[in-house]
């Protein structure tokens, strides 16, 4: 692909294939997403349609795509080399005409120099400028006017007129030749497009490096404990896998032993390896950075979180934002106006000064090519999407960056969003008199809980310190009930479901996160109970403070019970964050709250993770789903917070604001460039070589300005 207009040509070619329902092509990412009926067409027919349009394509796999990029890069570099080498030789031959005084350079010597320049210009026009002629022919053949049309027309007219002046001096085309301007224009434009191509290739290579992080094989454990090396595609849920130190986890699953550490930087942007213990979840694509471990496979292939992330990245990179579609719609009438303007300029100058008519028309054709305008929005938004992906935020819809930059009101869910998906110890409640005090009983219970990977057991262990009063023997875990063990005196104790330990009945104390969830004591007699509460995310308060200080109104919108929501709001208030609260909100209540804010003219965002959040996520101007949230929530949201860090929201908003500033800068620059250069070209003050330099530099400036966003 040579410029932003190529995407429209390829889309039109694909849509003409029988069975194709939709086609989206991104020039910046060099990717096409096609929805088609496999009963009516097949992949070879889609590729054949693209080739008939004058392009080439390969399935989106790393090897063939990389080979195509290498071929394109190599060919572009050769075209650039030929253009610059010949340009320098032509300039050397043109130099005597520039510095010679009138009558100082003999006519026969001038003619000889012109012939030499003509010979050197042939490879530039025939070889180096071939992409412009090919693009123009594709556009004409598909009845679309593209940006290559004025460029190819300018090159052809300049070469023909200069050739006529070389071989028939004083004839129809006069005496002046413009081979120096012609070769300089082609060289500058090819240099600009080569740099654009390099930027596109870097974006594609980044995505493919993510794909390459997945291992191709895995060590599957047999029933007898032996291992066999198998293809990752052969793994099935329930398989046990050995993961050596330094290798990537081949699937989503649960650790059977530990401890170890997982480097999840590729998935979440977190550079520090995350500690993992037996029973913890691990995700495919993360690196085992601690010790050799075993794991149980739960999800493989396209079901893994890693593959979902890659699919989201590909989907975002093949989108064309609304601003780009608007620019494309204006590009066609603008190009028709350019052709009419160039024709009018040639007619006017043929009366005013015929010898300058040709190169004035060529300058107008070249300087008005709207490449910079078409690149203004997609280059910036694609760069921002890549930067956010490296920070653990996957943008599914590029158009969401604009409302995110204008965000004024944020609705936040509680469970799984402000809080983590694990609990923390809240209080110990004495249930019956005992010789041992509550802290001693808690330490004994924590020592027993250390034998389990249940979330409540782990929360109790994390919250308890101190010496254990005795050792446990014959520990047994009863699934769904709890732990049972014998102390040094032979007494059997239980830790688990209150009714199983000895609290009368399955009362409400067992049913809520804020109530009694574990009991501990000798069998049949519970001595203490433990209450657990939701764990507030470490960065929640700091992120909310930052957003509020930046003028965003934040509101807590939760379907949980009022007691728990108010308790969380009080904990946030202790950290300096006062939030309006709406508790016990049904999905329709959340939807009504967002619609009411939108009716007031506010740009509204919603952050959630549950199935009940899906309708309101779809209604909000921009929505975020947490990475561990429900599938329907992730499918509905505009962006996924893969790393589950709320700080990513504030960073995404800042980057969205920077992105829209860059888009505006790009559009203003493109408009000012055309507004200032078109009059100069019409008045004859802008030679073709300067027009070519200006056009190439304008596109390069737009791409370079957008690439600043890749730093995040």
Which residues 6+ apart lie within 8 Å of 107 measured at CB? none
Say how far apart CA 703 and CA 697 lie, in whole Å: 10
Task: Determine how many CB atoms are found less than 10 A away from the CB of residue 120.
Answer: 20
- The strand pairing partners of 536, in sequence order, are 419
User: Residue 416: which residues within 8 A CB-CB, separation 6 or more?
Assistant: 608, 609, 610, 626, 628, 629
Given a contact cutoff of 8 angstroms between Cβ atoms, the answer to whether 273 and 323 are in contact is no
Name the token pair of 284.
Answer: 């495919």
Q: How many CB atoms lie within 10 A of CB 106?
A: 10
List beta partners, residue 529: 429, 519
Q: What CA–CA distance (Å, rounded) separates 109 from 118?
A: 14
Q: Report CA-CA distances (Å) from 207 to 267, 291, 321, 386.
A: 12, 28, 20, 9
The catalytic residues are 413
* Per-residue DSSP letter, 700: H
Structure tokens at 485: 């063990």
- Measured CA to CA, the distance from residue 653 to residue 324 in angstroms comes to 21
Listed in sequence order, the residues at least 6 apart from 210 whose beta carbon sits closer than 8 Å to its beta carbon are: 266, 285, 309, 310, 313
Written as one string, the DSSP assignment of 83-125 is HHHHHHHHHHHHHHHHHPPTTTS-HHHHHHHHHHHHHHHHHII
Pairwise CA distance, residues 354 & 420, whole Å? 77
Residues near 610 by beta carbon (within 8 Å), at least 6 away in sequence = 413, 415, 416, 559, 629, 630, 633
Give the C-alpha separation, 343 to 362, whole Å: 10
Nearest in space to 659 (alpha carbons), one of 697, 710, 701: 710
Secondary element (H or E) of residue 423: strand 419-430
Q: Using CA atoms, how far apart are residues 527 and 519, in angstroms rounded to an integer?
A: 7
* C-alpha 146: how far from chain center: 28
**Token representation of residue 342:** 């160039």
Alpha helices in 353-430 (DSSP H): 357-367, 371-390, 401-405
CB 512 within 8 A of CB 561: yes
User: For 576, phi and psi rounded to 5 degrees?
Assistant: 90, 20
Residue 282, classed as helix, strand or coil, is: strand
Whole-number Å distance between alpha carbons of 257 and 255: 6
| Helix (H) or strand (E) segment spanning residue 287 | strand 287-288
Q: Would you state the structure tokens that stand for residue 363, as one six-digit string? A: 């300058």
Distance CA 352, CA 373 (A): 32
Angle, helices 371-390/179-212, rounded to nearest 10 degrees: 20
SS3 string, 472-494, reads: CEEEEEECCCEEEEECCCCCEEE
Question: Cα-Cα-Cα-Cα dihedral of 56, 62, 64, 68, to 10°?
Answer: 50
Helices (H) and strands (E) in the chain, counts: 23, 24
Please state, in angstroms and rounded to a whole number, the distance separating the CA atoms of residues 608 and 124.
57
């Amino acid at each position: 692909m040579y410029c932003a207009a190529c995407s429209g040509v390829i889309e039109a070619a694909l849509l003409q294939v029988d069975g194709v329902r939709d086609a989206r092509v991104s020039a910046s990412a060099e990717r096409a997403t096609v929805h088609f009926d496999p009963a009516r067409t097949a992949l070879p027919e889609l590729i054949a349609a693209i080739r008939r349009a004058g392009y080439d394509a390969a399935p989106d796999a790393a090897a063939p795509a990389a080979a195509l990029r290498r071929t394109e890069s190599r060919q572009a570099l050769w075209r650039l080399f030929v253009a610059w080498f010949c340009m320098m030789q032509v300039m050397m031959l043109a130099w005597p005409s520039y510095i010679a005084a009138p009558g100082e350079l003999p006519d026969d010597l001038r003619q000889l120099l012109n012939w030499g320049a003509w010979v050197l210009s042939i490879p530039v026009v025939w070889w180096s400028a071939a992409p412009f002629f090919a693009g123009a022919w594709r556009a004409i053949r598909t009845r679309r006017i593209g940006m290559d049309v004025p460029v190819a027309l300018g090159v052809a007219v300049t070469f023909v007129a200069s050739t006529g002046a070389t071989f028939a001096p004083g004839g129809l085309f006069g005496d002046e030749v413009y081979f120096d301007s012609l070769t300089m224009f082609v060289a500058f434009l090819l240099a600009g497009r080569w740099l654009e191509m390099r930027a596109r290739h870097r974006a594609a290579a980044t995505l493919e490096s993510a794909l390459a992080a997945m291992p191709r094989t895995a060590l599957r454990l047999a029933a007898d404990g032996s291992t066999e090396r198998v293809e990752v595609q052969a793994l099935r849920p329930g398989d046990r896998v050995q993961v050596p130190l330094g290798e990537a986890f081949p699937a989503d699953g649960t650790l059977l032993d530990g401890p170890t550490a997982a480097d999840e930087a590729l998935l979440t942007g977190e550079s520090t390896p995350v500690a993992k213990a037996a029973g913890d979840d691990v995700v495919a694509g993360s690196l085992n950075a601690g010790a050799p471990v075993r794991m149980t496979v739960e999800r493989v292939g396209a079901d893994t979180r890693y593959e979902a992330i890659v699919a989201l990245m590909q989907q975002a990179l093949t989108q064309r934002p609304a601003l780009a579609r608007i620019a494309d719609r204006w590009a066609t009438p603008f190009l028709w106006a350019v052709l009419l303007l160039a024709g009018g300029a040639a007619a006017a100058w043929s009366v005013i000064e015929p010898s300058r008519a040709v190169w004035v028309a060529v300058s107008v054709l070249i300087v008005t090519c709207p490449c910079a305008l078409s690149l203004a929005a997609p280059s910036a938004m694609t760069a921002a999407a890549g930067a956010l992906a490296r920070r653990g935020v996957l943008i599914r819809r590029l158009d969401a960056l604009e409302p995110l930059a204008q965000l004024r009101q944020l609705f936040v869910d509680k469970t799984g969003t402000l809080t983590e998906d694990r609990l923390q110890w809240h209080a110990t409640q004495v249930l019956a008199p005992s010789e041992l005090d509550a802290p001693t009983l808690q330490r004994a219970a924590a020592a027993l809980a250390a034998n389990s990977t249940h979330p409540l057991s782990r929360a109790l262990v994390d919250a308890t310190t101190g010496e254990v009063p005795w050792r446990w023997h014959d520990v047994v875990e009863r699934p769904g009930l709890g732990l049972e063990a014998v102390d040094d005196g032979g007494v059997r104790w239980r830790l688990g479901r209150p009714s199983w330990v000895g609290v009368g009945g399955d009362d409400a104390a067992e049913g809520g996160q804020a109530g009694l969830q574990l009991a501990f004591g000798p069998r049949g007699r519970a001595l203490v109970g433990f209450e657990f509460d939701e764990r507030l995310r470490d960065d929640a308060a700091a992120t909310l403070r930052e957003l509020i200080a930046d003028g965003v109104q934040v509101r807590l919108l939760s379907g949980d019970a009022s007691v728990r929501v108010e308790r969380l709001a009080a904990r946030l208030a202790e950290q300096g964050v006062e939030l309006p609260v709406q508790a016990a909100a049904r999905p329709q209540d959340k939807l009504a709250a967002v619609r009411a804010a939108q009716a007031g003219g506010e740009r509204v965002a919603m952050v959630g993770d549950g199935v009940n959040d899906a309708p309101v996520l779809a209604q909000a101007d921009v929505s975020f789903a947490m990475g561990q949230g429900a599938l329907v929530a992730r499918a509905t949201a505009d962006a996924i917070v893969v790393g589950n860090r709320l700080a990513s929201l504030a960073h995404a908003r800042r980057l969205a604001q920077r992105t829209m500033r860059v888009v505006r800068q790009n559009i203003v620059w493109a408009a000012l460039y055309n507004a200032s250069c078109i009059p100069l070209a019409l008045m004859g003050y802008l030679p073709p070589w300067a027009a070519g330099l200006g056009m190439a530099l304008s596109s390069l400036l737009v791409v370079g300005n957008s690439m600043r966003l890749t730093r995040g």
